[in-house]
Amino acid sequence: MKKIFVLTGEPSGDKLASKVINDLKKINQNIEYLSVGGEHLQSLGIKSIYDLKEITYLGFTNVILNIFKISKKINETVKSIIDYDPDVLFTVDSPDFTLRVAEKVKKLNPKIKTIHYVAPQVWVWREGRVKKIKNFIDHILLLFNFEKKYFEKENVSCEFVGHPLLQNKERSKIDINQIIGKNKALISVFAGSRKSEIIVLMPILLGFIKLMNEKYTDMTYVFHSTREYSDLIQSFINESGLSNCEIVSDDKIKNHILQKSVFAVAKSGTVSLEISNAKIPSIILYKMGFINFMIVKSLVKTKYANIINFAANEEIIPELLQSNCNSKNIFKHVSNFLEDPNKIKEQVNKVQNVLNKLKTNGSSSELASLSLNKFL
């Protein structure tokens, strides 16, 4: 029986990996798995060697403060992979963690095939990484077609498979009235998938909702959460005294809630693609410590934080970052959209035009699974 070790570094990577592995299980049942993963991979019956929360650090200063812990975790992970002796090491996203592990594994056992999914964003910063990557990664699965030129230039084996979150989802048959209540307009809120993000953004988001409640009386705000942080989000809601906030952590329910939403307010990241694919108007936001921000600002070479805006070279989806990420600003942008249907229509149409250029014809997770299967 063939063996695959699946290595992720955060919840979004765990979700992406699970879609590919789920499709791989359909075409090849003779594979054994072990992972560093979260709830999505575990739902497929794949054991994780430790809790994913142990390695999710946000920001440069947090990484620096935890550098010895991270280094120890990298070495611990490398040892587990070498002991497991898989045919393939399947690394997903989180390059500062997963690729460091892959490099060490390749040096210790060159026979292990290394396949990386979600290429490092070399068009954003540190393009020089490509030359190094080709020394220890056998193949890269790309989410976006425009990435190919960066890797082909250095003769790195790569393949455009598309983004799983842009696949058309089946409409779930769920009566959300049982969850939310009737005749309520829904706004989906995404506070992040890391504890540090949630702690920073929740007070700002709840302040925004309080301002909205002064103007709109028929809104329900649904926080999309991972299971592990739903209690943390609930504690913030309880403390705020707000009664028109709900939390969902089940993926099927989350998808249905999003499809029924009139608007979405989201932390910058992968989730923006899901929102865009569901044709829901949105804004994105992000806030980090001043030192982290100055380091990022000095390294990043793109104008936009959002992939849709980057691909379009235009701020289609408003980006409220750093000092602009405050309750009043979010309220102003959301209310401006809600009161102008033409503005909503224009954003949705522009986003769809961009997405059409980013999508593959087939299922991206199926394409990724077929590619992965070739290396077994």
326, 339 Cβ separation under 8 angstroms: no
Provide the residue-wise pLDDT of the chain in tens; the chain has 376 residues: 999 999 999 888 998 999 999 999 999 999 999 999 999 999 999 999 999 888 765 444 455 556 777 788 899 999 999 999 999 999 999 888 899 999 999 999 999 999 999 988 654 445 567 788 889 999 999 998 888 888 888 889 999 999 877 876 555 555 555 555 556 799 999 999 888 889 999 999 999 999 999 999 999 999 999 888 999 999 999 999 999 999 999 888 999 999 999 999 999 888 999 999 999 999 999 887 665 565 555 555 568 888 899 889 999 999 999 889 999 999 999 999 999 999 999 999 999 999 988 888 788 899 999 999 999 9
Give residue 158's pLDDT.
94
| CA distance readout (Å), 85 to 9, 25, 82, 166 | 20, 20, 5, 33
pTM value? 0.75
170 within some domain: no
The reply to whether 205 and 313 lie within a common domain is yes
Q: Provide the number of structural domains found in the chain.
A: 2
The reply to whether 142 and 58 lie within a common domain is yes
168 within some domain: no
111 within some domain: yes
User: Burial, 163: exposed, middle or buried (Cβ in 10 Å; 0-12, 13-18, 19+)?
Assistant: buried
The reply to whether 152 and 224 lie within a common domain is no
The reply to whether 212 and 302 lie within a common domain is yes
Q: Which strands sit side by side in the sheet containing 319-321, from one edge to the other?
A: 245-248, 219-224, 185-190, 261-267, 282-286, 319-321
The reply to whether 364 and 352 lie within a common domain is no
CA–CA gap between residue 240 and residue 209 (Å, rounded): 10
Give residue 163's pLDDT.
86
Q: Which domain holds residue 216?
A: 176-358
The reply to whether 354 and 366 lie within a common domain is no
309 within some domain: yes
The reply to whether 246 and 150 lie within a common domain is no
167 within some domain: no
The reply to whether 143 and 257 lie within a common domain is no
Give residue 58's pLDDT.
44
The reply to whether 232 and 331 lie within a common domain is yes
Structure-block tokens of residue 191: 């506070």
The reply to whether 347 and 364 lie within a common domain is no
Give residue 60's pLDDT.
40
266 within some domain: yes
Q: DSSP state, 113? A: E
CA–CA gap between residue 230 and residue 146 (Å, rounded): 36
The reply to whether 191 and 127 lie within a common domain is no
Give residue 122's pLDDT.
52
Q: How many residues does the chain have?
A: 376
The reply to whether 206 and 156 lie within a common domain is no
Which CATH number covers residue 114? Answer: 3.40.50.2000
264 within some domain: yes
